[in-house]
Amino acid sequence: MKLTISPQKPDAVQTDMLVVPVFEDTPDFERAIEWLRDPLKKEARKLAEHIAFKARHKKTLSFFTHHKIPPYLVLFVGIGKKEVEETLFTNRLRELGAITIRASRSYRVERAGLVIADSIFAKLNPDAVGKALVEGIYMGSYAFSKHKKQIKKPELQELIIFTKQPIQKGINIGKRISEGVNLARDLVNEPAQFMKPKDMVAAAQKIAQNSSKLIAITVMDREELKRQNFGGLAAVSQGAREEPYFIHLHYKPKDAAAPSAARKIAIVGKGITFDSGGLSLKPAEFMMDMKIDMAGAASVLGFFSTLPFLKPIWEIHGLIPTCENLPSDTAIKPGDIIKIKNGRTVEVLNTDAEGRLVLADAFSYATELKVDAIIDLATLTGACVAALGKDIAGILGNDRELLEAVIDAAKKAGEKVWQMPLEESYKKYLKSDVADLRNIGKVRQGDTILAALFLKEFVGKTPWLHLDIAGPAWTDKPLYAYNPRGASGFGARTLVEYISS
Ligand code: BES
Ligand code: ZN
Ligand code: ZN
């Protein structure tokens, strides 16, 4: 699909369909039909009155023009009230972009137009408008269909955004970001048979190769992991024939004399390419979706793919422990005691609580890099889904400033997060009689908090933030028009907003 910008009048260009956003308050419909000429203008007004079109958010009005102007259909889309919070309005523009794509598909349109009048810019600057629209357009275009028989359908060839404002820069940024999200979705949607640890490595290598040398990559295999005492990753992967890997991506701003404001951070993603539970085997219905257990890693990769374009002034390490969690005669057994990279021992009482073991190694490694902050994304606990539902990620951490910054970034990205308490008094439930820690609580309550408390033991004094994305990593019932069913790429855009802040 070609995306173009045109300063012309919407009916002066050949299109099959025009999408026109309309505000709900102050009768905005007259403004929205300004460019139409009589008798079409009159007819549109009459139709809107007839069906009492209020332009409430996401309500649409289809107006067929019977060949009096080039587009045969004008779709008016309600975008709600003008006086809403900036982040909410931004998200409505993303949705508008996605609705435009969907309508183009259902009407089998080849050339579509999206009319962005000046009134839209009263709330947001041109960069932000362009970025939001395009994020919605590309995220909303996403489909994972490579394993389906290809049926030739007429595709949208061109989308023209009608505006006189300079939105090109925002468009370029939004395009890269949504491509990053869609990359993460592709990795997660791919079944575990095709997305093994080595495929994660290949995906990471590709990102480094396409980075104009801005991203370096180091990959450690099983032998190297043992040599460097990655006891968590070695233990979780020992039941599987597939080789485990630790992927280290390193983005460094080109300008070596980076300003003093620049930070050095590590982003860690859980990369279990399939989580059967190991010998503490999951019941079949809970195992069905477990190809998604590398969604944290996928979002880190999606995020990294945007860095060579966004060129932040921060130094960013991307750390991905990746392996399969499978039962076999070589698998780790409940009761085994393992040693994490930083020397602390863990009594593994449930092999299904494997994410925290591989993350613990990654955190130990991150602290050796002396980073200013660690952020991890992980499909870590079913309890988080029980507590917050499918659309909201749990957020926990040991540093108020970092928490506030990431919560703010998530809001800007339109990704829902909710903070949970890192309740220190629960630490007693992680005490082991035979090792430094046990990997599950003595009580099966507050699992999300216990998992985070476990992780906290491996970050030392480094400010750290944990996103439990077990719920929102996968979409069953789409929250927004730009969320297709399946993998969401959740987290990648929050990270982008965070490093752009
Ligand atoms: N990968 C799962 C968590 C998960 C559940 C992700 C649902 C996505 C959707 C994780 O490794 C796991 O199995 N956690 C256990 C922990 C328990 C044994 C303490 C869980 O949540 O049941
Ligand atoms: Zn598990
Ligand atoms: Zn898992």
What burial class does residue 2 get, using C-beta atoms within 10 Å of its C-beta: 0-12 exposed, 13-18 middle, 19+ buried? exposed
Dist. CA 351 → ligand 2 center (Å): 7
Best of 380, 385, 426 for a ligand 1 pocket test (most atoms within 8 Å of beta carbon): 380
Six token digits for residue 490: 């959740």
Give the pLDDT band of residue 260 (cuts 50, 70, 90): low
Residue 293: CB within 6 Å of ligand 1? Answer: yes
Contact in structure between 299 and 377 (CB atoms under 8 Å): yes
The SS3 assignment for 13 reads: coil
Please give the DSSP secondary-structure letter assigned to residue 69: S
Contact in structure between 45 and 29 (CB atoms under 8 Å): yes
Kindly report, residue by residue over 108-126, the tens digit of the pLDDT.
999 999 999 999 999 899 9
- pLDDT of 66 over the 60 cut: yes
Kindly report, residue by residue over 130-143, the tens digit of the pLDDT.
999 999 999 999 99
Full-model pTM: 0.97
Question: For residue 302, which of 48, 63, 494 has the smallest C-alpha distance?
Answer: 494
37 tagged catalytic: no
Phi, psi values for residue 468, rounded to 5°: -90, 105
Question: For residue 269, which of 314, 313, 321, 309 has the smallest C-alpha distance?
Answer: 321
CB neighbours (10 Å) of residue 264? 15
Question: For residue 238, which of 387, 348, 142 has the smallest C-alpha distance?
Answer: 348
Quick one: which atom of ligand 1 is closest to the CA of 355?
11
344 tagged catalytic: no
Q: State the catalytic residue, choosing from 31, 282, 339, 344.
A: 282
Dist. CA 256 → ligand 2 center (Å): 41
- pLDDT of 257 over the 70 cut: no
Residue 468: CB within 6 Å of ligand 1? Answer: no
Residue 381: CB within 6 Å of ligand 1? Answer: yes
Phi, psi values for residue 450, rounded to 5°: -60, -40
Per-residue pLDDT, 438: 98
3-state secondary structure 422-443: CCHHHHHHHCCCCCCEECCCCC
Secondary structure tally for the chain: helices H, strands E: 15, 20
Dist. CA 354 → ligand 2 center (Å): 5
Q: State the catalytic residue, choosing from 123, 356, 412, 438.
A: 356
